[in-house]
Amino acid sequence: MKATLNTRATGYAQDVDRELTRAYLLFQLDALQGEQGPAAAVAARYDRWLATSRYPRMVKGVYLVQPRTAPSQATALQHYDPATRFITPAEWPASAAAIRTRLEQPPAAQTSAAAGHTLLLRTMVPTVWPDVPALVIAAPMLMVSHIDARPSDARTTPVRMAPAVRHTIVMLDAEYMKNERLPALAQQHFQGTGDGFDYHLAVLPAAGGSPVYHSVREFTPSPDAQVDAKVELFQVRVKDFE
């Protein structure tokens, strides 16, 4: 019974995180978009999300964060409107205040040269924000080195890297996940052959507090409670998409 329960719990966590990971991979915009503008790029990804996701309503909104060119510059936000398929300037949602604060922190970048090599360090913004809830997806970093191929004067110029990273913010619908998605997956993984659940299930914030979801109102354990099975979830599991 213990082994079966752990298998069910692991499967539940993987299914919860699978759509998060798909959203992370799908809405990761290319560093170079060529002739395709950001609106067309987001529209194509949003259409694919609606066509392929098991839970398309999980995504509540898609925003683009424009990188700042100066420390004193405000972080501009743009919102993708599926109805018009346009990207327009937007105010920061109140729920994303913590994300904005983190994005506006000065980049912790250092450069040191030794033996002809350059080391570049940059602190990245966390991807998963369970309290919002949202995904903050950084565009792949692009570093360009120009090589002069003339035989008589072959040399390499220093690597150039953009001073800021572009981000896409995928806002998730907390009420939909709580009232529809998590219960549906709970029935799939924990429903017994008879009526009701074989086990009580609760999804808890890691820092404690009220359950995000529980199968029965009376089951409100703490994160460190002694239970029959416990797994972590709400993670991006890129290794599952090799």
What pTM value is reported for the model? 0.80
Lowest mean pLDDT among 26-30, 121-125, 183-187, 214-218: 121-125
CA–CA gap between residue 142 and residue 35 (Å, rounded): 17
Say whether pLDDT at 12 is over 50.
Answer: yes
Say whether pLDDT at 196 is over 80.
Answer: no
Q: Which residues, in sequence order, are CB contacts of 125 under 8 Å at separation 6+?
A: 99, 102, 103, 136, 138, 167
Share of the chain above pLDDT 90, in %: 46
What pLDDT shows up at residue 212? 92
| Burial (CB count within 10 angstroms: exposed 0-12, middle 13-18, buried 19+), residue 193 | exposed
Say whether pLDDT at 169 is over 70.
Answer: yes
What pLDDT shows up at residue 150? 57
What pLDDT shows up at residue 234? 93
List the Cα angle 18/183/230 in 5-degree steps: 65
| Token code pair at residue 241 | 């998409």
What pLDDT shows up at residue 137? 93
CA–CA gap between residue 220 and residue 210 (Å, rounded): 7
| Residues 178-194: tens digit of each pLDDT | 999 999 999 888 876 44
Q: Give 177's DSSP letter.
A: I
Angle of helix 38-52 relative to helix 2-26, nearest 10 degrees?
150
Distance of CA 217 to the CA centre of its chain: 30
| Residues 75-122: tens digit of each pLDDT | 889 999 999 999 999 999 999 999 999 888 765 555 555 555 555 556
CA–CA gap between residue 163 and residue 150 (Å, rounded): 30
| pLDDT-based confidence at residue 195 (cuts at 50, 70, 90) | very low
**Is the CB of residue 53 less than 8 Å from the CB of residue 19?**
yes
Mean pLDDT throughout 125-144? 84
Say whether pLDDT at 174 is over 80.
Answer: yes
What pLDDT shows up at residue 178? 93
CA–CA gap between residue 9 and residue 114 (Å, rounded): 50
Lowest mean pLDDT among 160-164, 174-178, 219-223: 160-164
Long-range contacts of the stretch 96-99 (C-beta < 8 A, 24+): 96/63, 96/132, 96/134, 96/169, 96/171, 98/129, 98/131, 98/132, 99/125, 99/129, 99/132, 99/134, 99/136, 99/169
Average pLDDT, the chain: 82
What pLDDT shows up at residue 164? 61
Which is higher by pLDDT, 63 or 224? 63
Residue that is written with structure tokens 């972080």 in the block: 75
Residue 121 gets the label, from left (phi > 0), alpha (psi -120 to 50) or beta, of beta
Q: Which residues, in sequence order, are CB contacts of 230 under 8 Å at separation 6+?
A: 9
HEC letters along 106-126: CCCCEEEEECCEEEEECCCCC
